[in-house]
Structure 1
Amino acid sequence: MAVEIIVDRNKCIGCGRCYDVCPKAPLIWKKDEDGKYYAYDVEYCHNCKFCAGRCPTKAILIKVVKPKKRKEEKRMK
């Protein structure tokens, strides 16, 4: 399952709660030069949504991304 983690930079206060609660935090989350967190590598995210649930400003949105069909698959239908 592929996911997209969207962090609203205007809402993020850099508290680090997303990082603290994430089971894969060092692999997924990084801090930018303003001290705000962002999802660096979502490959390791397993959609637990702990980060979104812990965010006090509701700055995190997690979306499941459907894989794009390849052209060959579309032609076969």
Structure 2
Amino acid sequence: MRIEVDKEKCIGCGKCREACPKGPKIWSIGKDKKAKASHLEYCHVCINCASRCPVDAIRVIRDGKEDEEAFKKSE
């Protein structure tokens, strides 16, 4: 499993970190003002981060396949 952040799309809003149950353990905003996922051993693959991203910059990939649910926005 991995989480990819499209640095071209990311606006550094931090909504991924806010939405994640393990937020500060996994998510940080780098010096470049872009989101970065690390320490994925804490990730429960809930895909809240991708669902809350306002610019669709986050992709959650499990076993080599994109998680299609990550692209369905919660209302």
What's the TM-score once normalised by structure 2's chain length? 0.79
The sequence identity of aligned pairs, in percent, is 48
User: 5+ residue gaps in structure 1?
Assistant: 67-77
Partner residue, 1:51 = 49
What is the CA RMSD across the aligned residues, in angstroms?
1.1
Q: Which amino acid aligns with 1:30?
A: S
Selected match of 2:29 from 21, 28, 31 = 31
What's the TM-score once normalised by structure 1's chain length? 0.77
Higher relative contact order (CA 8 A, sep 6+): 1
Q: Which has the larger radius of gyration?
A: 1
